[in-house]
Structure 1
Amino acid sequence: MHINKVCRVTTIARVAAELGEDENWLSDIAGEMEPEDGLIWVYGPGDQETIAFTDFGIEQLQELIAIHRDQTN
């Protein structure tokens, strides 16, 4: 039996605020991520949806941020 080990996720809005980054820019970068990278889509009522990350996902996102920064410098 598979037991899910994810006990919490953090929305992209909160991650952006905590990292001091633009949420739209992070959303573009997160487009390169897969669920295996710790990215989760959260769906709410109606058409509401947002990206969220596991702790591992935040680490992966930070690595992508560094790569994108290196490419622009």
Structure 2
Amino acid sequence: MDVNKVDSVKTLALVARELGRDEEWLFDIAAEMEPEDGLIWVFGPDDDGGAMAFTPDGIECLINLIAEQS
């Protein structure tokens, strides 16, 4: 999926809940990812560090990284 044609993303918290994984552990795993892998940062007016979010391809990439860790 072309990153410029993404119409929705899921936050790290939502992906962690859907995968039944610890959010902090997933954050550490996802730290290896780049925007080309489907990882983006979402910022709002009160966000100091932003929220990690994933495109559908990013979720697939994250699942593959999880499999490599197991």
The TM-score, its normalising length taken from structure 1, stands at 0.86
1:36 aligned residue: 36
Q: How far does residue 66 in structure 1 lie from its aligned partner after superposition?
A: 0.4
Question: How far apart are the structure 1 equivalents of 2:9 and 2:61?
Answer: 14
Runs of 4+ with >3 A deviation:
none
Number of corresponding residues: 66
**Per-residue deviation, residues 21-65 of structure 1 (Å, max 9, x unmatched):** 000000000000000000001112231511000000000000000
Question: How far apart are the structure 2 equivalents of 1:34 and 1:48?
Answer: 17
Confirm whether residue 63 of structure 1 aligns to residue 61 of structure 2: no
Query: What 5-or-longer segments of structure 1 have no aligned partner?
Result: none
Question: How far apart are the structure 2 equivalents of 1:52 and 1:34?
Answer: 12
Confirm whether residue 23 of structure 1 aligns to residue 30 of structure 2: no
Query: What 5-or-longer segments of structure 2 have no aligned partner?
Result: none
Q: Which amino acid aligns with 2:42?
A: V
Structure with greater Cα Rg = 1
Structure 2 counterpart SS, 1:24? helix
